[in-house]
Chain A
């Protein structure tokens, strides 16, 4: 038992509990806030895995952009939208079956890894961020997907400007 294990249990509990509240909360804004707690827990897991860059990007992108947009969208709906209606519909047995199957699949795959508490994780290279940056622009690695994504984003930007443009 050391500090990182305590932190792992704390973040695991945070993720699971808040994820349950995301689907059970009747107030949509509360659900969105619980979703933020879940995402924050995932960022904590990234930190524990020494993936600091991913952790920070998780907070910037998911909490800073996507969750804020969720909250904006939810706030524009009626506040007590869900307080009278039922939270489930007739399809819940199918959903339950699919979830159980997915869980079984994940468990089946995870069984093959052979978990143990004694295993020491491989050291993370100190320059992993530089390597990520170099990989994104190196022709042998990911420059093509990177450029395609850039062009997609640029197209979206131009499209947004065109839609918002005041046509005279």
Chain B
């Protein structure tokens, strides 16, 4: 065991010897080292967040055929610094009639609900906050706290538009939780565990879950975008009718916390997709399972890629109407998710003892077949609807 294979253990042991060498009690040193670890992890996530501001602005500029930030530093890389200075020195307004405590608590909870997620992300085989055996449910629980933060922000602002935005946003988040949970059940079922580390190890030994369940990956991606409240599901916004949603009354760094939370949330869900369906720390560089730094690099690369996919969707697809969006969830996504879960469970049970190639092929074909059936049903429905609309209006009888 050395620093390159298991850095956390090496650092822990070194700090433990140092601190107890100063005459500190063992349990106190343990608490302090764990707290230090938490602070370092959160700080790393927040520093990454600063970079994400630049990535987001640069990528959206490319999608919209602009240059994006290019004045501060090389390629505008230091643009987030003036952004943050601007946010900090802006006047911090709490509107009259707002519920002060709840109003100020909401942005903190909103960012915290994202930071919570980092506790269970396995950055490398030996680098993770905690290896929970209920990690995927924990993801849903953290999302519940995010929902709570939004409704708190909307209510405490004492603003009708903020409340309306919060209502619409919460309606999205609560309804898309169902396909998300069902989509999360698929890696659980395939790996036989809910622990993120266990799921990565199962993919390291077998096939990536995106091969075994491409449809499950797509369902999770769509549900994740809805959970993030990004376009095309950014219903809380609507510049012409309900302004900018639940955070309309927030200024300065309080708005900054919501914004930072949203960016980090998107990246975190990108990392989750990479870990749950694309083998976590195993690719693109080799030896990710042995050397911690390579593993961290791999996870971050995958996170960035799927963050980019989420941005790609956001800046390409226009916003949906609320009834379309709810119908899409309840009449399409939820039934497909349940059907996929049933099919995956049956195929998994039949083929799990056969050779890996046969098993993978069976699950992949089952997914393709299900996807094709779904598309056929959709096409049939669309054809019917079109026929009904194109039919000549009945002429009144005399």
Chain A positions 102 through 139: 1 when the CB is less than 8 Å from some CB of chain B, otherwise 0: 00000000000000000000000010010000000000
Query: Does chain A have a CB within 8 A of B345?
Result: no
- Looking at the assembled complex, report how far the CB atom of B120 sits from the nearest CB atom of chain A, in whole angstroms: 11
A59, closest chain B residue (CB): B141
Q: Is the CB of B152 within 8 A of A53?
A: no
Q: What residues of B have a CB within 8 angstroms of the CB of A64 in the complex?
A: 140-141, 143-145, 147-148, 177
Q: Is the CB of B155 within 8 A of A75?
A: yes
Q: What residues of A have a CB within 8 angstroms of the CB of B132 in the complex?
A: 52
Segment 8-49 of A: residues with Cβ below 8 Å from B: 27, 29-30, 33, 36
Segment 136-167 of B: residues with Cβ below 8 Å from A: 137-138, 140-141, 143-145, 147-148, 151-152, 155, 163
Q: Count A interface residues, CB 8 Å.
A: 23
Q: Is the CB of B170 within 8 A of A68?
A: yes
Known A-B contacts A56-B141, A60-B140; the reply to A68 vs B147 at CB < 8 A is yes
Query: Does chain A have a CB within 8 A of B202?
Result: no
Known A-B contacts A2-B27, A129-B194; the reply to A53 vs B134 at CB < 8 A is yes
Query: Does chain A have a CB within 8 A of B31?
Result: yes
Query: Does chain B have a CB within 8 A of A3?
Result: yes
Known A-B contacts A52-B134, A67-B148, A68-B174; the reply to A29 vs B143 at CB < 8 A is no
Known A-B contacts A52-B134, A56-B134; the reply to A33 vs B144 at CB < 8 A is no
Q: Is the CB of B134 within 8 A of A68?
A: no
Q: What residues of A have a CB within 8 angstroms of the CB of B163 in the complex?
A: 75
A62, closest chain B residue (CB): B144
Within the assembled complex, what's the spacing in Å between the Cα atoms of A64 and B227? 13
Q: Is the interface of A mostly helix, strand, loop or mixed?
A: helix
Chain A positions 61 through 76: 1 when the CB is less than 8 Å from some CB of chain B, otherwise 0: 0011101100110010
Q: What residues of B have a CB within 8 angstroms of the CB of A60 in the complex?
A: 137, 140-141, 144
Within the assembled complex, what's the spacing in Å between the Cα atoms of A59 and B233? 25
Query: Does chain A have a CB within 8 A of B64?
Result: no
B147, closest chain A residue (CB): A68
Q: Is the CB of B27 within 8 A of A3?
A: yes
- Looking at the assembled complex, report how far the CB atom of A133 sits from the nearest CB atom of chain B, in whole angstroms: 10
Within the assembled complex, what's the spacing in Å between the Cα atoms of A63 and B149? 11
Within the assembled complex, what's the spacing in Å between the Cα atoms of A143 and B133? 23
Q: What residues of A have a CB within 8 angstroms of the CB of B102 in the complex?
A: 29-30, 33
Within the assembled complex, what's the spacing in Å between the Cα atoms of A72 and B169? 13
Query: Does chain A have a CB within 8 A of B30?
Result: yes
Q: What residues of B have a CB within 8 angstroms of the CB of A71 in the complex?
A: 151, 155
Known A-B contacts A56-B134, A129-B194; the reply to A29 vs B155 at CB < 8 A is yes
- Looking at the assembled complex, report how far the CB atom of B290 sits from the nearest CB atom of chain A, in whole angstroms: 25
Q: Is the CB of A59 within 8 A of B144?
A: yes
Q: What residues of B have a CB within 8 angstroms of the CB of A68 in the complex?
A: 144, 147-148, 151, 170, 174
Within the assembled complex, what's the spacing in Å between the Cα atoms of A75 and B170? 13
Within the assembled complex, what's the spacing in Å between the Cα atoms of A159 and B132? 37
Known A-B contacts A53-B137, A59-B141; the reply to A3 vs B155 at CB < 8 A is no
Within the assembled complex, what's the spacing in Å between the Cα atoms of A129 and B192? 11
Closest 8 pairs (CB-CB, A-B): A64-B144, A59-B141, A56-B137, A60-B141, A56-B134, A2-B27, A56-B141, A53-B134
B-binding residues in A (CB < 8 A): 2-3, 27, 29-30, 33, 36, 52-53, 56-57, 59-60, 63-65, 67-68, 71-72, 75, 126, 129
